[in-house]
Chain A
Amino acid sequence: MSGPGLDELVVGKELDPFIDNPLTVTDFVRYQGASGDMNPAHHDTEFAQRAGFPTPFAVGMLQAGVLATYLTDHFGAANVRRFKVQWKEQAWPGDVLTYAATVVGTREEGGQHLVDLEATVTRQTGGVHLQGWATFVVE
């Protein structure tokens, strides 16, 4: 897949946001099976409550993975060179998350054009679930 050309990528350009379906515990279970992270706090209500949480909560790496899906859909799966996330507030079953990203820089390094992005995953409350940073090669 070839993503957007360099001439379209100017600092401040915002990608079309992706609004996901409401989070479900099934999403968590599916991700946990795929990743091998079996922390019961994400699917076992009794366990989560014993640990002081009202219900199971979202697997942070799932939303990181969906953010990466969103960005690689734009720029190409093979073009990612750096991807970083930092979690803020927790996300919960039923949350509707909006994935958004903005171009914060373009540069040339080793004969390749690179684009730097900042991203956010925001809950329906306006609270930020995670912040992300990514760098892609642009063809």
Chain B
Amino acid sequence: MTTSKEDQDGTSYTMVVELGKLREFARATKSSNPEYLTAENPVAPTTFLVTSSFWQDAPPRRASGGGSGSGSNGGAREGAGYERMLHGAQEFVFFGEPPRAGTRLSVHSRPGPEYEKTGRRGGVMKFRELITEYRDEKGELVAEAHGTIIETSQAPTGGANT
């Protein structure tokens, strides 16, 4: 990991697809697939890239209680409590096979559309999208992630999104 850089266009940082983290992640997602666990040069598990937003060398989000519902692929707003943030949706698009262990990815996240909806119980829900691009050492776009974070005006109760 290298130091992340924030500017008005978003956040940039470097993510190395580390073999040990890749295998740990595969086991944590209940895989016994040798393509991840024993292959010499495995591809990253499908949802592995979401970890980039947590492992980047950025100021810890925990400090002010900021953070995201449950693995938000970044974009958490400082000061907004975990209890108001929900991870509504997450998408990964790969433009070839997923990156393999050892790949050094240049990552760039930028805010996507924002919109509001009124929930079933009358609370206002703010939807914020975050678009993250992953490029390999040659600068080729290898993957893109789209995360949707929902911020609620009241603490979610049963039946809310995760």
Contact = CB atoms under 8 A, between A and B. Distances in A.
A61 B54 contact: no
B82 A83 contact: no
Range for the number of chain B residues in contact with chain A: 35 or more
Contacts of A52: 83, 155-157
Interface stretch (B3-11, B39-47, B109-117, B129-137): B39-47
A21 B86 CA distance: 25
A60 B87 contact: yes
A16 B88 CA distance: 27
Given A36-B55, A66-B29, A90-B160, A72 B50 contact: no
B47 A59 contact: no
B51 A35 contact: yes
Contacts of A40: 82
Nearest to A137: B97
A69 interface: yes
Main secondary structure of the interface of A (DSSP, over half): mixed
A73 B93 CA distance: 18
A73 B33 contact: yes
B162 A69 contact: no
B36 interface: yes
Contact of B29 (A38, A68, A83, A91): A68
Contact of B45 (A38, A77, A79, A86): A77
A73 B88 CA distance: 25
Interface of B: 21, 24-31, 33-36, 42-43, 45-47, 50-51, 54-55, 62, 67-72, 81-83, 86-95, 97-98, 155-162
